[in-house]
Amino acid sequence: MTENLNIGELLRRQRQFFATGQTREVDFRLAQLRRLKQAIADFEEPITEAVRADLRRPELEGTFELSCLAEINYALKHLKRWVKPKRVSGSLAQFPASSKVYPEPLGVALIIGPWNYPFQLVISPLVGAIAAGNCAILKPSELAPHTSKVVADLIGKTFDRHYIAVVEGGVEVSQKLLAERFDRIFFTGGKRIGKIVMEAAAKHLTPVTLELGGKSPCIVDADIQLEYTAKRIIWGKCINAGQTCIAPDYLLVDRAIKPDLIDAMKATIESFFGSQPQTSPDYARIINNHHFARLAELLKDGNIVVGGETDESDRYIAPTLIDGISWESPVMEDEIFGPILPVLEYDDLGDAIAQINARPKPLALYFFSRDKNKQKRILAETSSGGLGLNETVLHVGSPTLPFGGVGESGMGSYHGKASFDTFSHYKSVLKQTFLFDIPLRYAPYKGKVDLMKSAIKK
């Protein structure tokens, strides 16, 4: 544990600091966001080196961890507007009162990060917590130990631990944290652990934001630009060796275009990573031996079209396309979270939509087609956390697009204003005047019923 305190004592001191009211001041929040921004700039090299040590991430993909800077810049630009109370209209029954909605901080937040983007996905929620005026405890993933240490060092050198603190450790530490009462828990990770987090939060009636995952489908119509489609799918699947929560999990391809698309994707893999991707400097590795073994087992089903090579000593699994599978195949049971892409086919778009709707709602859904009517149909007839039309993954990088799941892929959202909203309570305030008083609501009620009904209905 980073702090030389027990967790209960740390939480108590953070509550004491929150009670001083400092975090409510907008100038304080802006100053802390600027400090965080500067700290990330100062730690840029250690961050990218740590991510490379944990995931063998290529340098360019390592810079994805710094995308939280865009979140900070967006919050700095808009925070003064976000914190202002909003006047809302009232009903005739409330006349002459005025009504406003005030955003206020929740208190102390717990942010639990994942291992696949171990810096970005713990710092980006923190931006929202700071902007909304909260204190926070961060728990980075122990499966990415180098990055966890960098997060602890950066936060420890930037903030008073009674305001923002990092607690490192494994499952036991997470269990101790979840046993405490927080004012918001923000968790990014898998569905199984998400259920544990939600169960623990329920004991204290703590609100939760769950950023989970699921099997994100990628539907490919026959009417496409073949080269761009292949590139965008392979890129979305292979960044971070497929260990991305919104990576295309499987393809559902119009039968007429399937052979051409497979050929184009095979060519794309070679153009990206060469004939031997293991030697490419631009291809990451699997996080640990457990996940390597899990992924290697999935290669035993179907017909491998390209890839399939593995090296346990290097935690390497090649970019792989698998054909000849069914909806009941093992590779279609759970989120793959690796560089393996199953290919299924369809003849009728309605059948493809029905197959997707028969399964849990995914975190992302992708549809490639020039046909605007089909695009509208996908938009209207499917449900997913996010939707990419003729693109994969990029929607996650915009502060103007709320990011989150639906159903089993999560609850709540963040990024930009949505992050501020997640860590805020919107308090409704009605202010009445003493200048006069309307007696309609008071007893005796005789002769007032029709007037009251009229007031309520307007």
Does residue 283 contact residue 320 with C-beta atoms inside 8 Å? no
DSSP 217: E
The amino acid that residue 283 corresponds to is: Y
**C-alpha separations of 61 from 5, 67, 117, 216, 389 in Å:** 36, 11, 10, 21, 23
Does residue 165 contact residue 138 with C-beta atoms inside 8 Å? yes
Does residue 216 contact residue 362 with C-beta atoms inside 8 Å? yes
Lookup: tokens for 123: 């710092």
The amino acid that residue 50 corresponds to is: A
Per-position DSSP letters for 5-42, written without gaps between them = S-HHHHHHHHHHHHHTTGGGSHHHHHHHHHHHHHHHHH
Q: Please give the distance of CA 350 from its chain centroid, rounded to a whole number.
A: 29
Q: How far apart are CA 23 and CA 82, in angstroms?
A: 15
Among candidate residues 68, 62, 185, the one with its CA nearest the CA of residue 120: 68
DSSP 165: E
Three-point CA angle 454, 456, 458, nearest 5°? 70
Q: At what angle do helices 171-178 and 7-19 cross, to 10 degrees?
A: 50
**Which of these is catalytic: 61, 211, 335, 408?**
211
Is residue 106 classed as helix, strand or coil in its secondary structure? Answer: coil
Place of tokens 């995308």: 67
Task: Give the torsion sign (CA, 366, 121, 62, 291).
Answer: negative
Does residue 148 contact residue 119 with C-beta atoms inside 8 Å? no
Is residue 125 classed as helix, strand or coil in its secondary structure? Answer: helix
Place of tokens 């009941």: 328
**C-alpha separations of 108 from 131, 141, 151, 310, 388 in Å:** 13, 20, 19, 44, 34
- The answer to whether residue 245 is catalytic is yes
- The answer to whether residue 238 is catalytic is no
Q: Please give the distance of CA 12 from its chain centroid, rounded to a whole number.
A: 28
Among candidate residues 154, 106, 147, 158, the one with its CA nearest the CA of residue 128: 106
H-type helices in 111-257, by residue range? 120-131, 145-158, 171-178, 191-202, 226-238
**Which of these is catalytic: 61, 135, 245, 408?**
245
Does residue 361 contact residue 385 with C-beta atoms inside 8 Å? yes
Residues annotated catalytic, as ranges: 211, 245
